[in-house]
Structure 1
Amino acid sequence: MHALNILIVEDETIMALDLAETLQEAGHNVTATARNFQEAIHAFKRFPTDLALIDIQLKNSADGISIAKELLAQRRIPIIYLTANSEPKTFQEAKETLPAAYLLKPFRSDELKLQIELAYYYFHNNQQVDGKSRQLYLPIDKGYEKIDPNDVLYLKADGAYVKIFLLGKEPAYHISTNLSHLAQYFPQPNFYRLSRSILVNLDHLERLENNYLFLVSHKTPIQIPVSNRKELMKKLTVVKTK
């Protein structure tokens, strides 16, 4: 499978390092290691995240289940819980967040790698019906208008609204919501969070220059934040000359 951007929420330093090493050996990217609620939310907003590994029991912080609920309220991603607590009550509370997996410590590296792949695979395929992207119905002009997510070029935050640019259709739609909420309906791997205000469909990327992206049938280039350029390049298959 392709490399995933994974957020680790774990307050035990040795365990966090062990998790990060296991993920990196499997070819994944660790976006951040958060030790508490505030660090987890900050990292989730700042970095593109495909999956989160969350320890349920955290010292001096809200528990991992509360963190997972907050993350999911912003955008749906697969959650894998890691815990030393096998009590039925804790399991039932965790189950309400519909986690992709629930692993007891100490975990085995091979098991964790397999669970991550399965979690992302099933999550991504549940976003599809019969191999095709689900049709979305956007709130437009006091009603709901159907679009195909594959036709979306990119989404751009615009104050209290989000502009949705579609292939061969102008002007852009204006939806009264925030980008983090709307992004859950446009999952990776084809949709990529280029910045805090831009979510771009890489399937429509036609040209890449040092500081700009050019999308099919869209005249206006999109600026690439310097801090995200390296991460973006990992998502693309680029032929480099010697």
Structure 2
Amino acid sequence: MKSLKILIIEDELVTAHDIKETLEKAGHIIIDIARNLSAALTSVRVNTPDIILIDIHLEHSTEDGIDIAQRILALQTIPFIYLTGHSEHPTIARAQQTRPAAYLLKPFRHKELAIQVELTYHNYQVSLASSADPFLSDNLYLPVDQGKGYVKIKKSDVLYMMADRVYVEIYLAGETQKRVFSMNLGYISQFFTTANFYHLSRSLVVNLDHVERIDRGQFYVKGHEHAVSFPEANHKLFLQQFAIIKTPPKRESR
């Protein structure tokens, strides 16, 4: 097993250093111990880990481990293991929505921790090699029913995607009703890599191929009568994405 770069997100420093010592003895590298969201995001950007260990309950952070996992996944896909001393169903159900590679219930044995980390990374690499690449595929299968099933979404049919707290609303060509998925916009939008998907605001991604009309602060998409609003401050940049023909200047009468 190769030496893995590991990020630990844990605000109990005694526990964090205990984990650090265990994994370093197993030959791995702890790139950082983060205690909150800001520190975790900085670590991921500066030195991307191979795997992350995240304590769900962080006493000294305004965000819990699940919130932090969602924010990290919005940046890039990294396998992670949740560490928790709690097994309440609501917490586990919410955690499942972020699709962790594994859970470890505290207290855990040191040998078990090292084995789980190595198995998690190995299984992640195998899944990458054997699965269709969601970044390149024309279709995505998004989780429904808390991950019990998957529904097909054709990327080219997406009209626009809108954030609604921890959910994302996806509007599709040929459908009058929106589809709602339990994931954030930052996470799902990373799989829409072609130039026609434009981030019009932090909460809105639009497929430029389906835009039929643009007014100040709103636009219309094919097959939908209602306008979609966006910040007027972004109007000029939005217009630059299209081949705009401006009204010619009036000729002076002689």
CA distance in structure 2 between the partners assigned to 1:20 and 1:73 by the alignment: 26
* CA deviation string 1:188-216 (max 9, x = no partner): xxxxxxxxxxxxxxxxxxxxxxxxxxxxx
Give structure 1 stretches of 5+ with no counterpart. 145-173, 178-242
Report the aligned-residue RMSD. Answer: 2.7
The equivalent residue for 1:121 is 122
The equivalent residue for 1:89 is 90
What's the offset of the Cα at 1:137? 3.8
What's the offset of the Cα at 1:48? 2.3
CA distance in structure 1 between the partners assigned to 2:134 and 2:55 by the alignment: 35
Q: Which runs of 4+ in 1 moved over 6 A?
A: 174-177
**Closer, same or farther: CA 27–137 of 1 in aligned 2, 3 Å:** same
* CA deviation string 1:102-151 (max 9, x = no partner): 11111111111111111101111111128xx9597499xxxx9xxxxxxx
The equivalent residue for 2:57 is 57
SS at match of 1:127: helix
**Closer, same or farther: CA 110–46 of 1 in aligned 2, 3 Å:** same
The equivalent residue for 2:106 is 105
Matched, 1:66 2:50: no
Give structure 2 stretches of 5+ with no counterpart. 139-155, 157-194, 199-254
Larger Rg: 2
What's the offset of the Cα at 1:60? 3.0
What's the offset of the Cα at 1:176? 9.2
CA distance in structure 1 between the partners assigned to 2:83 and 2:101 by the alignment: 11
TM-score of the pair, normalised by structure 2: 0.52
CA distance in structure 1 between the partners assigned to 2:55 and 2:45 by the alignment: 19
The equivalent residue for 2:76 is 75
CA distance in structure 2 between the partners assigned to 1:135 and 1:55 by the alignment: 28
Conservation of the 8 A alpha-carbon contact between 2:35 and 2:60: no
What's the offset of the Cα at 1:59? 1.7
Query: Partner amino acid for 1:100?
Result: A
The equivalent residue for 1:232 is none
CA distance in structure 2 between the partners assigned to 1:73 and 1:54 by the alignment: 16
CA distance in structure 1 between the partners assigned to 2:134 and 2:54 by the alignment: 31
Report 1:42-53 matches (<5 A).
42-53=42-53
The equivalent residue for 2:27 is 27
The equivalent residue for 2:39 is 39
Paired residues, number? 145
Report 1:158-237 matches (<5 A).
none
Aligned-residue sequence identity (percent) comes to 43
SS at match of 1:6: strand
* CA deviation string 1:71-102 (max 9, x = no partner): 11111111100011111111111111111111
Query: Partner amino acid for 2:126?
Result: N
Query: Partner amino acid for 2:120?
Result: A
